[in-house]
Amino acid sequence: MRLYFSYIAINLKSQMQYKMSFFLTALGQFITAFTSFFGLYFIFSRISAVDDFTFGQVLLCFAVVMMAFSLGEMLGGSFSVFPRLLGNGEFDRALVRPRSVILQVLFPHMDFARIGITAQAVLVLCYAIPLSGVIWSWQKILTLALMILCGSALFFGLFLLQAAFCFFTVEDLSFLNLFTYGSRQFGRYPFSVYGKGVLHILTFIIPLALFQYYPLLYLLDREHSPFYMLLPLAALLFLLPCYALFRFGMSRYKSVGS
């Protein structure tokens, strides 16, 4: 792990060489992320509920998704450079080193300016928790923690999946942004508002609802079974096919040469 911490330290030091640029970028992301929050606020200034979810309940849902996405993007967003690494041959160097290939891709390319989105998500979450009307217990606190942690792992899996397709297409597939950055936008509301068809897709294919919608029902006392509390853990199974596809792509990869 010392090698990977060295990667992180060097990467952070390089980004901090231009401190004003770094802080302005982080501030820009912090401010821009509030546009979704204000969108919710203005919508609920006209209506009282969406699919029987009040403003405070929707805001809690939104804050959880934003928090999970920001943590997942903090690490998984490094895969955005993956097409370039394949194209210029840098990926070949990672293959010949006796270390994890994925970690060699992630840590040297982490964008620490994304801390702006994380800071916004923390503020919104702190605002949403007392406004949601949830009667908190240790079970619900655990549920909230699982929603955020497992959600961030799921978003990381989506970024990994997007990188895996680069082995077969050379460039990344932009339509997959629908499930990464698009999910951040669609996740502003409980997924049930988009209809049963979409909810089934986001339950059994891209299991975003497992960390967002169903545990939310448990927090709001609409479901009392502990099964709903533990559903975010089931979302972690999505990482298996994502990793398997990445490994399969590596086995088919041929060097670009010198």
Give the whole-angstrom CA distance, residue 232 versus residue 236.
7
> Chain-wide mean pLDDT for the chain?
87
Angle at 242 (CA atoms; ends 143, 154), nearest 5 degrees: 20
Residue 238 lies in a domain: yes
Whole-structure pTM over 0.75, yes or no? yes
Give the whole-angstrom CA distance, residue 94 versus residue 64.
34
Give the whole-angstrom CA distance, residue 170 versus residue 115.
30
Residue 257 lies in a domain: no
Residue 193 lies in a domain: yes
**Maximum CA extent, the chain:** 62
225, pLDDT greater than 90: yes
What are the structure tokens assigned to 6, written together? 């060295």
Contacts of 40 (CB under 8 A, 6+ apart): 55, 58, 59, 62, 188
18, pLDDT greater than 90: no
pLDDT of the residue at 87: 80
60 vs 177, residue with greater confidence? 60
* CA-closest candidate to residue 258, choices 104, 83, 88: 88
Contacts of 229 (CB under 8 A, 6+ apart): 139, 142, 143, 146, 215, 218
257, pLDDT greater than 70: no
Give the whole-angstrom CA distance, residue 131 versus residue 125.
10
* CA-closest candidate to residue 202, choices 162, 211, 219: 211
Provide the number of structural domains found in the chain.
1
Residue 23 lies in a domain: yes
Q: How far, in Å, are 70, 78, 96, 108 from residue 81 at the CA level?
A: 18, 6, 19, 11
143-201 confidence digits (pLDDT tens): 999 999 999 999 999 999 989 988 888 665 677 777 788 888 888 899 999 999 999 99
Return the bridge partners of 53, or none. Answer: 50
Residue 185 lies in a domain: yes
- For CA atoms 148, 150, 156, 161, give the dihedral sign: negative
Q: Amino acid letter at 13?
A: K
What are the structure tokens assigned to 125, written together? 């979450």
Taking a C-beta distance cutoff of 8 angstroms, is the pair 33, 66 a contact? yes
Residue 258 lies in a domain: no
Give the mean model confidence (pLDDT) for residues 33-40: 82
Residue 190 lies in a domain: yes
Taking a C-beta distance cutoff of 8 angstroms, is the pair 220, 136 a contact? no
Give the whole-angstrom CA distance, residue 167 versus residue 140.
41
107-117 confidence digits (pLDDT tens): 877 878 788 88
Residue 45 lies in a domain: yes
72, pLDDT greater than 70: yes
Taking a C-beta distance cutoff of 8 angstroms, is the pair 44, 58 a contact? yes
Domain span holding position 125: 2-252
What are the structure tokens assigned to 16, written together? 């901090």
Give the whole-angstrom CA distance, residue 159 versus residue 173.
11
Q: How far, in Å, are 6, 49, 78, 194, 215 from residue 74 at the CA level?
A: 17, 32, 8, 28, 24
